[in-house]
Amino acid sequence: MTSKSLQLSATFSTQIFKPNCIKASMRVIFGIFTLLILAGCGRKEKKITAQQQQPRQPAMKVDVFIVSPRTISETIEVPGTLMANETTEIHPEVSGKAVQININEGRNVSRGTLLVKLYDGDLQAQLRKLQVQLSIAEKTEERQAQLLKIQGISQQDYDLSLLNANNIKADIEIIRTSIDKTAVRAPYSGRLGLKNISPGAYLTPQTIITTITQMDQLKLDFTVPEKYADRIKIGQTVNFKVQGKDKIYSAKVIAKEFSVAETTRSLLLRSVVQNKNAELIPGTFANVQLKFDPDPNALMVPSEAILPQARGKKVIIYNGGNAKFLDVVTGVRDSAYVQITDGIKVGDTVVITGLLSVRPGSKIQLGNTSKK
């Protein structure tokens, strides 16, 4: 066989056997792919079967509380301070040396009582001088008035003499006012404090001679949180106690500040203590008790139902067999219950046991149910 014949034979053989090899390879690949699919299905069926065989967790049994409206009387306690009706530091109006001191420390004085007298000898001398000048000026004015009637002088000459007399009178009034300022008197009836000067001391308008306090009427200042600002009315009576005494005193609200303090978020109110009480001292700390009108529609839940959160508070309610978490806003509380001002409504079923084990949406079943 020649070389040409061999080449033709090889070419013919390649054309015949090449398609057969490709088909065989495809069969092998298809078989492997089929085996992988069957293996995966088997595993999935085994997984599903295993999951079906696992027992389901039973619903957790919890005790609940049915929310209903109640009547509550809210009472809060806030700090207060007793203040005198009037308290004044006594200062002289002018500078001078104290020549007389009439201060009975801790004693009551009447309005206008002389407390301190400053030296006024120079002013008295000026007053006497002006009084002599006024006497001469008035006599001159009288003589010129007689001359004016008979046309002995002109009207202008008479007017000048009258003006001179009036000027001296004005100067006398100025001196007398200055003399009055050298006498320091009680501005109103009250109790004197401790004196801060001694006889012969030189006083200035900045010198505090003593203090005077009006003790027949005391005021009580106190603050309330801003959420109670609109619940305090003018004329409302409040009760208070002071340290060291078991007696309960009363006061009537007479005024309140027009705005809430930004630093403390509280409102300042002023009241007048009812009746005279000699045992009460200005500056004493007071514990003020505020009682508000009863709320007949308050929603209360047991205190153990509240879940504190980083931001706010929550309660869990029974919602068709599932646990539902709600954000709530609380109000007043007592030893067993907490008021909910926002977040729940009448008829809600609030979970009160197993709170740490319940998760949002988890299955729960009702146990003991209470309404009180």
Return the higher-pLDDT residue of 29 and 296: 296
Looking at the fold, whether 37 and 67 belong to one and the same domain comes out as: no
Looking at the fold, whether 281 and 337 belong to one and the same domain comes out as: no
What range does the domain containing 39 cover? 1-53
Integer CA distances (angstroms), 254 to 28, 78, 214, 257, in order: 102, 17, 18, 11
C-alpha 353: how far from chain center = 36
Please indicate, yes or no, if residue 86 is contained in any of the structural domains.
no
Q: How confident is the model at residue 36, as a pLDDT?
A: 58
Looking at the fold, whether 165 and 148 belong to one and the same domain comes out as: yes
Please indicate, yes or no, if residue 82 is contained in any of the structural domains.
no
In angstroms, the CA 251 to CA 237 distance is 6
Into how many domains does the chain fold? Answer: 4
Please indicate, yes or no, if residue 85 is contained in any of the structural domains.
no
Looking at the fold, whether 111 and 151 belong to one and the same domain comes out as: yes
Whether the pLDDT of residue 206 is over 90: the answer is yes
Q: How confident is the model at residue 127, as a pLDDT?
A: 96
Each residue of 268-299: pLDDT tens digit? 999 999 877 778 888 899 999 988 878 888 89
Each residue of 102-119: pLDDT tens digit? 999 989 999 999 999 999
Whether the pLDDT of residue 32 is over 90: the answer is no
Each residue of 133-143: pLDDT tens digit? 999 999 999 99
| Residue 40: pLDDT band with limits 50, 70, 90 | low
Q: How confident is the model at residue 50, as a pLDDT?
A: 43
- CATH number for the domain including 271? 2.40.30.170
Q: How confident is the model at residue 18, as a pLDDT?
A: 47
The helix/strand/coil state of 293 is: coil
Please indicate, yes or no, if residue 282 is contained in any of the structural domains.
yes
Looking at the fold, whether 114 and 164 belong to one and the same domain comes out as: yes
Last residue of a domain, one of 153, 182, 203: 203
Looking at the fold, whether 264 and 171 belong to one and the same domain comes out as: no
In angstroms, the CA 9 to CA 11 distance is 5
Return the higher-pLDDT residue of 12 and 300: 300
CA nearest neighbour of 103 among 94, 256, 122, 92: 92
- Any idea which of 26-30, 263-267, 334-338 has the lowest mean pLDDT? 26-30
Q: Output helix, strand, coil percentages for the chain, rounded to the nearest 5.
A: 30, 40, 30
Whether the pLDDT of residue 175 is over 60: the answer is yes
CA nearest neighbour of 56 among 369, 362, 314, 301: 362
Summarize the confidence of residues 126-131 as an average pLDDT. Answer: 96
| Torsion angle in degrees (nearest 10) through CA of 179, 180, 181, 182 | 60
Q: How confident is the model at residue 370, as a pLDDT?
A: 84
φ and ψ at residue 294, rounded to 5 degrees: -60, 145
Last residue of a domain, one of 161, 186, 203: 203
Whether the pLDDT of residue 96 is over 70: the answer is yes
Summarize the confidence of residues 228-240 as an average pLDDT. Answer: 89
Please indicate, yes or no, if residue 327 is contained in any of the structural domains.
yes
Looking at the fold, whether 285 and 320 belong to one and the same domain comes out as: no
Looking at the fold, whether 262 and 312 belong to one and the same domain comes out as: no
| Residue 13: pLDDT band with limits 50, 70, 90 | very low
Looking at the fold, whether 266 and 338 belong to one and the same domain comes out as: no
Please indicate, yes or no, if residue 87 is contained in any of the structural domains.
no
Q: What type of residue sits at position 325?
A: F
Burial of 70 (0-12, 13-18, 19+ CB in 10 A): middle
> Please, what is the average pLDDT of the chain?
85
- CATH number for the domain including 325? 2.40.420.20
Whether the pLDDT of residue 341 is over 50: the answer is yes
Q: How confident is the model at residue 167, as a pLDDT?
A: 96
| Residue 333: pLDDT band with limits 50, 70, 90 | confident
CA nearest neighbour of 84 among 192, 174, 183, 236: 192
Summarize the confidence of residues 246-263 as an average pLDDT. Answer: 90
Looking at the fold, whether 300 and 280 belong to one and the same domain comes out as: no
Please indicate, yes or no, if residue 122 is contained in any of the structural domains.
yes
DSSP 97-141: EEEEE---TT-EE-TT-EEEEE--HHHHHHHHHHHHHHHHHHHHH
Looking at the fold, whether 97 and 198 belong to one and the same domain comes out as: yes
Whether the pLDDT of residue 2 is over 50: the answer is no
Last residue of a domain, one of 291, 309, 330: 291
| Residue 152: pLDDT band with limits 50, 70, 90 | confident
| Residue 33: pLDDT band with limits 50, 70, 90 | low
Looking at the fold, whether 222 and 319 belong to one and the same domain comes out as: no
pTM: 0.60
Summarize the confidence of residues 35-58 as an average pLDDT. Answer: 52
Please indicate, yes or no, if residue 44 is contained in any of the structural domains.
yes
